[in-house]
Amino acid sequence: MKKIIVLAVTVLVALSLSMVAVAEEQQKVKGTITKIDTAAKSVTIQPKEGAAVTVVYDDADLLSKVKEGEKGEAKYVAKDGKNVAIEVKLSATGH
């Protein structure tokens, strides 16, 4: 009986850890920059298909160089109810 309980607890811990990994899975959006909010430190990107994605990014230098209408891409993770950018870059055709 003790072995079964230990096995059950081990399985539950493994499952809970895998759920955390899924929750912070890196995602990517590529499209046209439709909004820049320097106060909120965010960029909104509209892909060709689907809903626009807003990502929060702390690099104020990059945010000051980005313009609405340019092509860009962001890699991000969902964290605390926000899409937190890992990387934001402009496409070569965006300039």
Q: Tell me the pLDDT tens digit for each residue of 21-61.
A: 445 689 999 999 999 998 899 999 999 999 999 999 888 78
- Enclosing H/E stretch for 12: helix 2-23
Give the whole-angstrom CA distance, residue 94 versus residue 73. Answer: 10
Decide if pLDDT at 15 tops 60.
no
Give the three-class secondary structure for 95. coil
Half-sphere exposure of residue 49, counting CA atoms within 13 Å on the CB side? 0
The pLDDT, as a whole number, for residue 21 is 46
Note if the pTM is more than 0.75. Answer: no
What residues does 30 pair with on adjacent strands? 73
Please state, for a pLDDT cut of 70, what percent of the chain lies above it. Answer: 71
The pLDDT, as a whole number, for residue 94 is 43
